[in-house]
Amino acid sequence: MRTPPYPHPLIAREGWPMLAGSVVVSLLVGLWSGWIAIPFWIFTLFALQFFRDPVREAPEGDGLVLSPADGRIVCVEDAADPYAEDRPAVKISVFMNVFNVHSNRCPVDGEVQSLTYFPGKFFNASLDKASLENERNAMVLRTADGQLVTAVQVAGLVAKRILCHARIGQNLYAGQRYGFIRFGSRVDVYLPPGSRPRVAIGDKVHATHTVLAELPVVSQEDESRV
């Protein structure tokens, strides 16, 4: 197992302003009335659990695709990757409810080839149509052996902000934190044909720690064509 080589706050930075404001408001209301302050403290506790961002260890191994999010598997199917010229792909989707960790992690080691944001609707993220109709941000990665892996952050019914900190040309490692989605949402991963899924619909997964799939082995001849 390998641990992240960077300082890692236990509470995601994206939540610091909201938490600070919630604590201040709760204290001020509490000075006036302890009973009235109770709902504000409940919201503060909810925000604290929502923005938690635990350190995760990534399993060792070649060709492993790590889960980019905590949640439940809602899709494992053959599909076309609309963010990489409709190439044939294996699609695996993770749905996050409001009680899951919403910090997003990179599924593989790779260089960021493209980042594309799409404004859209806010259907329930557990529905298949959310993948192509909801607000979303697609990141296409190229691995060292030339394979393309796409990770798509998809907003949900109440999610109103997708955050992606990756940059085109940046090299990310598997398990590296690269973004955050506020409130219920999903992440779709498109993998090369021949990838072997290691999860099934209904499985609960954890970002970085759970292996979603194994990438196909690329021969030297195939790699030279990339």
Computed over every residue of the chain, the mean pLDDT equals 86
Same domain, yes or no: 5 and 96: no
Query: Which pLDDT value is given to residue 113?
Result: 97
pLDDT range class, residue 219, cuts 50, 70, 90: low
Same domain, yes or no: 95 and 198: yes
Same domain, yes or no: 31 and 87: no
In angstroms, the Cα distances linking 49 to 25, 80, 97, 125, 160 are 18, 36, 12, 20, 18
Same domain, yes or no: 193 and 173: yes
In angstroms, the Cα distances linking 8 to 54, 72, 89, 129, 153 are 8, 24, 33, 34, 21
Q: Which CATH number do you get for residue 171?
A: 2.70.70.10
- Within-domain flag for 224: no
Average pLDDT over every residue of 159-182: 87
Same domain, yes or no: 118 and 32: no
Cα separation, 195 vs 207, in Å, equals: 19
Amino acid identity, residue 138?
A
Question: Considering the entire predicted model, what is its pTM?
Answer: 0.85
Asked whether residue 124 carries a pLDDT value surpassing 70, the answer given is: no
Q: Which residue has tokens 């938490």?
A: 19
- Within-domain flag for 116: yes
Q: How many domains does the chain have?
A: 2
Same domain, yes or no: 192 and 108: yes
Same domain, yes or no: 119 and 77: yes
Query: Which pLDDT value is given to residue 30?
Result: 86
pLDDT range class, residue 99, cuts 50, 70, 90: confident
Q: Which residue has tokens 């997003």?
A: 104
When mean pLDDT is compared across 75-89, 115-129, 132-146, the lowest value belongs to 115-129
Same domain, yes or no: 72 and 49: no
Same domain, yes or no: 45 and 89: no
- Within-domain flag for 222: no
Domain end point (choices 11, 33, 55): 55
Query: Which pLDDT value is given to residue 78?
Result: 96
Which of the residues are catalytic? Answer: 185
pLDDT (tens digit per residue) in 179-197: 988 766 889 999 999 999 9
Same domain, yes or no: 46 and 140: no
Domain span holding position 154: 64-216
Q: CA neighbours within 13 Å on the CB side: how many for 176?
A: 17
Same domain, yes or no: 151 and 39: no
- Spatial CB neighbours of 52, under 8 Å, sequence gap ≥ 6: 10, 11, 12, 101
Same domain, yes or no: 195 and 92: yes
Asked whether residue 1 carries a pLDDT value surpassing 50, the answer given is: no
